[in-house]
Structure 1
Amino acid sequence: MNQRLQSFSQWLQEQNISFALITSTPNVFYLSGFYSDPHERLLALLVFPNSEPMLVCPQMEVSQAKRAGWQYDTLGYSDTDNPWELIYKNINARQVVPEQIAIEKSHLSLERYEQLHTYFPVRSFLNAEEKLRELRMIKDEKEIVILRQAAELADFGVDIGIKALAEGKTELDIIATIEYELKKKGVREMSFATMVLTGQKTADPHGVPGLATVQHGDFVLFDLGVVLDGYCSDITRTVVVGKATDEQKTIYETVLKAQLAAIHASRPGTEIGSIDKEARAIIEQAGYGAYFTHRVGHGLGIEVHEYPSMNATNTMPLQRGMVFTIEPGIYVPSIGGVRIEDDVFITDDGVETLTSYPKELLTI
């Protein structure tokens, strides 16, 4: 078994868990190397403490799993099969008598839990997610290589968007240009819905792009990322169209100062909460504390938002191999908003910034 499966299987042994049923696409991918979104159909990975794992997927995806490198048993089922019954028969054939089963409690639906419990009325269902988060939080060298490449493509996307800026263009016009050029680079999927916001819409951290047009004097905010080989990138840059006002400059320079300070503070052993506090203190001292309305960042990897959560109450120390975003922002409804976001990687003795698009205030 690969190292990830071995580590997870060892945990099952330590916890006296009969087997784990992993059903979320990201965690199945992490453990198996097979990425699938089966829609309403069941995708599952059965991991055992003392025997080889088994993948459960629609029959039409079995060949894809093998091409992805899956070398163990695969239980393929048709649309007329009951996959839970097939799982039950397979577990019985292995002579496993389940007592405790590990599942992803935040992912397994009530309907699927009831199916599972019907076939396996065990004394307890334990949550596997904390262990999987712990494993996924520390990236290996192969993952870092992919994340660097994904970050480079995010830089490219921002560059395309800024070059496409012109007064009168709509937010969706610019998004179409960004995604078209990225697809020409081989990007099949974005990490999330690409965000281009202009004017006062930039004051909404999760604004929805539409037919608003770029006007002279606007802040324009770009927030985008790509999925590359199953891993996400995430970058935000903010520019001004035309000449920036004094307050726009102050807001921008405050966010940039906060972001750089947070990156500088990121090193092994530092408490995560102190990174948020470092950025927040600078923004508060400038008088904009009430306009910084979210945490300073989030973990990044197979999912665009994963552990650790970079919030002020998190006392976990940073460790080598963690990858996360640092993205402070100021959002003033009457003026607009600024967010500056980079993807960073904790090294043996410091931090490496994976995204590299310039951060000085650009006026277009």
Structure 2
Amino acid sequence: MTAVPDAARTAAPGPQAAAARLAAVRAAMDEAGVDALVLRPSPDARFLGSVLGEFLVVTQDVVAETADPAGVVPEGARRVGVDPEMRVRELFGLAIEAELVPASSVLWPLRLRKEPYEVEAVGRAVAAAEGVLGQALELAWFGATERAMAYRLRVLLAESGCEELLSLRVAAGEHTARPAHVPGERVINPGDALGVSVCGRWGGYCAEVSRVFAVAEPPDDFEAMYSVVLAAHRAGLAAVRPGAPVDEVARAVGEVIDGSGYGRFAAAHVGRGVGLGHDEGPWVGEDAVFEPGMVFCLEPAIYVPDLFGARVADVVVCADDGPVPLGAYPHALHVLDR
């Protein structure tokens, strides 16, 4: 892979779009009775164009990046929205005499629908992750450890041009049945199932892609289980359409897995929104409805304890006429031959 210059990786709205975004934020602040926003370097701050790494303060009259937010917050402010990622010492250091409330109540609803340039940035992050998975097929897996292979994949992602690695997981054999497994010293052997997940940031925007492979040959009964995960993935994808409740994704995925007999092994988590954050709205279970421009990571999984598991994660955008996957990496089970 060839690294891309930093200037080519910057995702930002044009002047008119930035002005419209700021106007929408101020209108939401007014509706919520919030007199100022104080944001640390975070996805919320990047949403409003912060680049300096200081606090960003937004009021009805001022937008300022500063090391001293108390000096910018208006006197007499009654409610101030603070970044949900604010650290405790930062909160104590604000010295603001006002009721502090989460800024997310103002900003997260505005971040749900992505602009075309944002979708493009997420798509670039998807392409980088899929490129790593493609190169992974050429690596020698037999006899290597999970940790060693995870390191090799980290190097490949860095070379892709992504500015940040958010997570990278390699799980072999029975470890594929552990949702939060951290790559360790387990040796990868023929006959193992192999789970690989890559999540990176491009131009400030995040994406994750996860696939499952088999080493030399699939374990007994693995292909049957994996076919259920793929069927659940197709059902969940069809549920991503304008006007449909986000909970419909969970219902569609669950219906397929429950009907297969693997219901008690199904992952409770089937997806989440992605964008400036790797885990943001729309969320399943929050009475949300899909709208055009929402970007969702669909990730159905089955985990059979002490045996094997399979998780397939893809990023999809809800378009006017339905779901549009942002990647193209195949779902067919690939058998690694070395």
Q: Secondary structure at the match of 1:282?
A: helix
Provide structure 2 residue ranges, at least 5 long, that are not aligned to the other structure: 1-17
Matched, 1:343 2:315: yes
Instruction: Tell me what 2:104 maps to.
Output: 129
Distance in 2 (CA, whole Å) between partners of 1:346 and 1:200 is: 35
Structure 1 position 245, deviation (Å)? 4.0
Distance in 2 (CA, whole Å) between partners of 1:171 and 1:237 is: 15
Amino acid at match of 1:333: P
Paired residues of 1:263 and 1:326 also in contact (CA < 8 A): yes
Q: Which deviates more from structure 2 when the two are superposed, residues 201-210 or residues 106-115?
A: 106-115
Matched, 1:267 2:238: no
Distance in 1 (CA, whole Å) between partners of 2:120 and 2:335 is: 33
Q: Secondary structure at the match of 1:225?
A: strand
Distance in 2 (CA, whole Å) between partners of 1:360 and 1:291 is: 21
Q: How does 1:313-328 map to 2 (within 5 A)?
A: 313-328=285-300
**Number of corresponding residues:** 319
Structure 1 position 172, deviation (Å)? 2.1
Instruction: Tell me what 2:30 maps to.
Output: 13
Select which of 238, 244, 267 maps to 1:293: 267
Instruction: Tell me what 2:77 maps to.
Output: 98
Distance in 2 (CA, whole Å) between partners of 1:316 and 1:101 is: 26
Q: Which has the larger radius of gyration?
A: 1
Distance in 2 (CA, whole Å) between partners of 1:353 and 1:286 is: 25
Distance in 2 (CA, whole Å) between partners of 1:115 and 1:187 is: 34
Structure 1 position 44, deviation (Å)? 1.5
Instruction: Tell me what 2:4 maps to.
Output: none
User: TM-score normalized by structure 1?
Assistant: 0.82
Amino acid at match of 1:121: E
Could you say what the CA RMSD is over the residues aligned between the two structures, in angstroms?
1.9
Amino acid at match of 1:351: P
Matched, 1:164 2:139: yes
Deviations 1:305-351 (A, max 9, x none): 111223xx343111111111111111112321111110000001101
Instruction: Tell me what 1:363 maps to.
Output: 335
Paired residues of 2:52 and 2:65 also in contact (CA < 8 A): no
Q: Secondary structure at the match of 1:223?
A: strand
Q: Secondary structure at the match of 2:334?
A: coil
Paired residues of 1:237 and 1:359 also in contact (CA < 8 A): yes
Distance 1:342 1:113, change over 3 A: same
Provide structure 1 residue ranges, at least 5 long, that are not aligned to the other structure: 37-42, 58-82
Distance 1:361 1:91, change over 3 A: closer
The higher-RCO structure (CA 8 Å, 6+ apart) is: 2
Instruction: Tell me what 2:200 maps to.
Output: 226
Q: Secondary structure at the match of 1:191?
A: strand
Q: How does 1:95-244 map to 2 (within 5 A)?
A: 96-104=75-83, 106-116=84-94, 119-122=95-98, 124-192=99-167, 194-244=168-218
Identity %: 24
Q: Secondary structure at the match of 1:278?
A: helix
Amino acid at match of 1:268: P
Distance in 1 (CA, whole Å) between partners of 2:45 and 2:260 is: 45
Distance in 2 (CA, whole Å) between partners of 1:290 and 1:240 is: 24
